[in-house]
Amino acid sequence: MPLTVHQFACLSDNYGFLARDEATGLAACIDTPDAGAILRELDKLGWKLSLILNTHWHPDHAGGNAEVKAATGATIVGPKEVTRISALDREVEGGDVVELGETRFKVIETGGHTLGHIAYYDAADEIAFVGDTLFALGCGRLFEGDAAQMWTSLQRLAALPDDTTVYCAHEYTASNARFALSVDDDPTLRRRAEAVFAARERGEPTVPTTIGLEKATNPFLRAPKLAARVGAAGKPDYEAFGAVRAAKDVFKG
């Protein structure tokens, strides 16, 4: 039985996600960017929340934990770093499995944006919730980790099947596309960027994406191929990645 995902926009550019295990009707929310919005969406759907899955400690991901738990009684699961801003009922790390009814989420360690960041992967349904690690045409800023750690994390996600549906936590795709075009002239990227700009003009989301699409067009995953463009020719892959990341950090577009 499948996992049904409900995505909604909240705060200025976050996405909230509710996921329901159809075999049992149990529901989870991935992160708690906006407790009010999450509770309203649950109400609208008539879903009962049993699980909160945090990807990292940032307030736009774990800031609503207490309010959502108080209203629903859901169990809070996340990496240890979340205890900086919220209580946790269960601490998890890479390799752990979290069950929602018959759905099994494998925890993948994806540190770099924050040191303890994790992703949740449901292999049976080929669905991944990646928080602020991988974005459509982008990746998270290196607030706590370094380029080597983030590159390793991105490679773990890139190793998932191409068809994996990837739910990233922000709508940053249009600005990511403008940066991507500044370092890469690949025709597949150019076509995708046009589609992204058109979708945003129409007010449509560009999330979710897929692993295959990101491997083909995301300048951070393509960093080794773009090394010469960012002054990292002949350098190890993680340094090429670090150079692309540094270029994005100062990109004005």
Q: Which residues bind Zn ion (CB under 5 A)?
A: 58, 132
| Residues between 101 and 160 with contacts to Fe ion, criterion CB under 5 A | 132
Size of the site for Fe ion (CB under 5 A): 2
CB-wise, 80 or 225, nearer to Zn ion?
80
Query: Which of Fe ion, Zn ion, none is residue 20 near (CB under 5 to 8 Å by kind)?
Result: none
* Least spacing, CB of residue 202 vs Zn ion, in Å: 27
162 tagged catalytic: no
Q: Which of 34, 60, 122, 184 is catalytic?
A: 60
60 scored as a contact of Fe ion (CB under 5 A) = yes
Stretch that binds Fe ion, among 60-68, 113-121, 153-161, 243-251 (CB under 5 A): 60-68
CB-wise, 140 or 219, nearer to Fe ion?
140
Measure Cα distances from 239 to 32, 154, 176, 228, 242 in Å. Answer: 33, 14, 20, 12, 5
Q: Which of 21, 31, 34, 61 is catalytic?
A: 61
171 scored as a contact of Fe ion (CB under 5 A) = no
237 tagged catalytic: no
CB-wise, 15 or 47, nearer to Zn ion?
15
List, as own/partner pairs, every contact residues 231-235 make where C-beta atoms lie below 8 angstroms and the sequence separation is at least 24, other chains included. Answer: none
56 tagged catalytic: yes
CB-wise, 50 or 153, nearer to Zn ion?
153
Which residue do the tokens 């759905």 mark?
103
Measure Cα distances from 8 to 27, 43, 64, 125 in Å. Answer: 15, 13, 15, 20
117 tagged catalytic: no
* Least spacing, CB of residue 105 vs Fe ion, in Å: 19
Q: Which of 21, 31, 34, 113 is catalytic?
A: 113
* Least spacing, CB of residue 185 vs Fe ion, in Å: 30
Catalytic residues: 56, 58, 60-61, 113, 132, 170
Contacts to Fe ion by CB under 5 A = 60, 132
